[in-house]
Amino acid sequence: MNNTTTSNAARVRRFDCTLGALDFAVLRQLGGEGRNIEDGRCEIDEGTAEELANVCRCSAGAAGGFGGFIYYTETADFTARNRAEIVARLREQIAEGLFSDGDGKARGVVGAVLSFNCFKGEDPAEIEEEAARVLFGPVEDIRGGELNRVANALAWSALEDLAFRLDGCEVEGDEGANA
């Protein structure tokens, strides 16, 4: 009997990126695994890494339907569980200049949510109130179902953020990455 076996769980892809708490939550939601390794790199199981690459390839982004991020029950629960990390990541993105107005001024987290593509054409006043409630109101309200649009958008933004940060950062030819 051969004592050396290869499992799918052992097959990983390496990226020149460090994963944070929200990234690990996204990986778990997708049903995958990852870990930070030396030199500011991370490893992600091969199937999940491919799923994240598919988010980048999909013209609809996260709205294209990716496991764990499809149904409102999934995305609302994800947002409720990870709200603090989502708000922290939005603040980081604002500091990086991602959500600046045309005049270069930074927006707050509610303003950042209002700028999401999925809300184009929506009544800004309605979305603003919903976003404020999701981001800063009682967590129970998120799971109640009336704030699904914003909770869904925030979950999708976390998925897309990780996918696009990893895009083009794969470390090729690393020995042991697929051992």
In this predicted model, what pLDDT tens digit does every residue of 133-171 receive, in sequence order? 999 999 999 988 889 999 999 999 999 999 999 999 999
For the segment 112-136, the average pLDDT, to the nearest whole number, is 93
In this predicted model, what pLDDT tens digit does every residue of 65-96 receive, in sequence order? 999 999 999 999 999 999 999 999 999 999 99
10: phi then psi, degrees, rounded to nearest 5: -80, -15
pLDDT at position 172: 80
The CA radius of gyration of the chain, in Å to the nearest whole number, is 18
Q: Cα separation of 33 and 45, whole Å?
A: 6
Asked if the model's pLDDT at residue 7 lies above 90, the reply is no
pLDDT at position 145: 81
Average pLDDT, the chain: 89
Q: Cα separation of 102 and 173, whole Å?
A: 41
